[in-house]
Amino acid sequence: MNQHLDRHEAKKNLRRTIRRQRQGLTQPFRSQAAAGFRSGLDQLCQELPVGPVLAYLPTEQEPPLRPALEKLQLTRQVWLPVVQPERQLLWVRWSPQTRFRPTGPGGLMQPVGPALPAPQRPALVLVPAMAIDDDGVRLGMGGGYYDIFLADLNGLAEANRDCVPPAAQVACVFHQEVLPTGAVPADPWDARIPMVLTERGVRDLSA
């Protein structure tokens, strides 16, 4: 078996383990975690320039970000992704009136509304993840959408670095899903995320 297939199988096994762990989290823990994510996101946004936030609404098993995002959208534009062909993402601005339909992969709920390219000069990108290691190697869901989007975003920031400040990129996981260096199998195209938000706060992985 070649190295790519080895890594592919290792990622599948790690995703399976994390899904099982997430299914075992209790509701009291999740409620407490939601408060931690809200506090951490509040603190993070206080340190960032004014600008839109590219976020996502979590599924039941993912870190409970929704209370934090509901508060955030009162003071900032919050945009949610809509998947497109060829692993592309467009974005819909979220408001309390936004409706959702199960139009994403596997019936994933997606916002209904004008789907547009990412707004210029986002201040923050919240990146869904199943795990991340201490070097910022992210384990995603396997679709590759964010790897492509973040590569494009980083390329744009590099091309305009004299006039466009780069968006802060922050992976969102539970604290137990921040793993030691090398614990997340990495392919060359996998995005590396410099910061992580957990129920215990924000951590800079690039330091």
Tell me the pLDDT tens digit for each residue of 45-81.
999 988 999 999 999 999 999 999 999 999 999 999 9
155 is in an annotated binding site: no
Q: What is the mean pLDDT of residues 128-146?
A: 94
60 is in an annotated binding site: no
What distance in Å separates the CA atoms of residue 131 and residue 171, rounded to the nearest whole number? 9
Q: What is the mean pLDDT of residues 174-195?
A: 93
pTM metric for this prediction: 0.93
Q: What is the pLDDT of residues 142-175, one digit of tens each?
A: 888 999 999 988 887 666 665 566 899 999 999 9
101 is in an annotated binding site: no
**Residue 65: predicted pLDDT:** 97
Residue 115 has pLDDT above 80, yes or no: yes
113 is in an annotated binding site: no
56 is in an annotated binding site: no
142 is in an annotated binding site: yes
CATH of 3-204, one of 2.40.50.100, 3.40.50.10420, 3.40.50.11540, 3.20.20.60: 3.40.50.10420
116 is in an annotated binding site: no
